[in-house]
Amino acid sequence: MTKKQKKLIVFITSLCGMFAIVPAANAMHIMEGFLPVSYCVIWGLICVPFLVIGFMHVDKQVKENRQTMMLLALTGAFVFVLSSLKIPSVTGSCSHMTGTGLGAILFGPCVTSILGLIVLIFQAILLAHGGVTTLGANCFSMAIAGPLVSFVLYQLLSKTGVNRKVNVFVAAFAGDLFTYCVTSVQLAMAHPSPTGGFGYALIKYLGVFAPTQIPLAVIEGLLTVVIVIGLETYAQDELKKVGFLKKGVQN
């Protein structure tokens, strides 16, 4: 290859990089039809126990107080709207939050799993992000695994008395990162490399998505901090209501 060609390739790759981040938006939603049937079913089944626990928890809350339904619906709509908003970015590109870290910190993993499931269904229907057949896989990575990591980290760090801002940031950031890893694992399992197998495919997937997902996780973490601090400053009463939603999770 001539030097000129090399230059061209470097130029194009960097351009690619710049624009690739652009709509990488919800790139971590596995799209419709990308997974073989067996994996769709397996991931769906894996979600079931988590969703059942979440459902029973939510059901109990609603039976105790019917008005909880309204709060749940509003928070669900909030998570959806949050995930469909364009977040600020340096390059003027466009990407979106997942909102899962925030959900886990504010409402706990049980409520987040159910709301996450519904939000994912709506994202598939209204935004064409993700899909029906890949709902199980996406639900596991975004509504279950990510929020669980965020929640556990948040609880642990709260006990150690770390600065709250740092705590929230780490929880949201790690949740996002974990979602990204789980999705890569899911993809690598479904499409292992013919030569290197699962491990090699995993590395490739992790590598391909890293440039978009890692900055996104950082921004998500920062935004989550701003949101949580904002809520704590202005909405003590409402947080109590939300905290009521979260109650009963620890036990």
Partner 1 sequence: MERIVQILLITAAVLMIIQGFLHRRKHEKDHSHSSFGHKHDGSVFSIDFYAYASRLRTWSPKYKAVFSMVCLLCCIICDNIYVSCAVILLMAYITVVMGGLPFRRYLSLMTIPLVFLFFGCVAIAIGFSGSPSGDFNLHLGFFYVYTSKESLWETLELITKALGAVSSMYMLTLSTPASEIIAVLRGIHMPKLLVELMNMIYRYIFLLMDTQCRMKNAAVSRLGYCDFKTSCVSFGQIASNLLVVSLKKGNAYYHALEARCYDGELRFLEEEKTVSAMQTAGALLSVSLLLCIWRLTV
The interface with partner 1 within residues 36-65 (CB under 8 A) comprises: 36-37, 40, 55, 58-59, 62
- 156/238 with CB nearer partner 1: 238
- 162/208 with CB nearer partner 1: 208
Instruction: Provide, rounded to whole angstroms, the least separation between the CB of residue 195 and partner 1.
Output: 7
C-beta atoms surrounding 118 within 10 Å: 16
Secondary structure class of 82 (helix, strand, coil): helix
Among 48, 126, 156, 166, binds partner 1 (CB under 8 A): 126
Q: For residues 37 and 190, what is the distance between their CA atoms, to the nearest angstrom?
A: 10
C-beta atoms surrounding 86 within 10 Å: 11
Q: For residues 56 and 100, what is the distance between their CA atoms, to the nearest angstrom?
A: 20
Q: For residues 209 and 198, what is the distance between their CA atoms, to the nearest angstrom?
A: 16
Secondary structure class of 25 (helix, strand, coil): coil
Contacts with partner 1, 197-226, as mask; x by CB under 8 A: ---xx--xx-xxx--x------x--xxxxx
Instruction: Work out whether the CA dihedral 58, 102, 214, 121 comes out positive or negative.
Output: positive
| Subset of residues 232 to 251 that bind partner 1, contact rule: CB under 8 A | 234-235, 238, 241-242
- Tell me the window of 122-130, 144-152, 157-165, 171-179 that interacts with partner 1 (CB under 8 A): 122-130
Contacts with partner 1, 133-172, as mask; x by CB under 8 A: x---------------------------------------
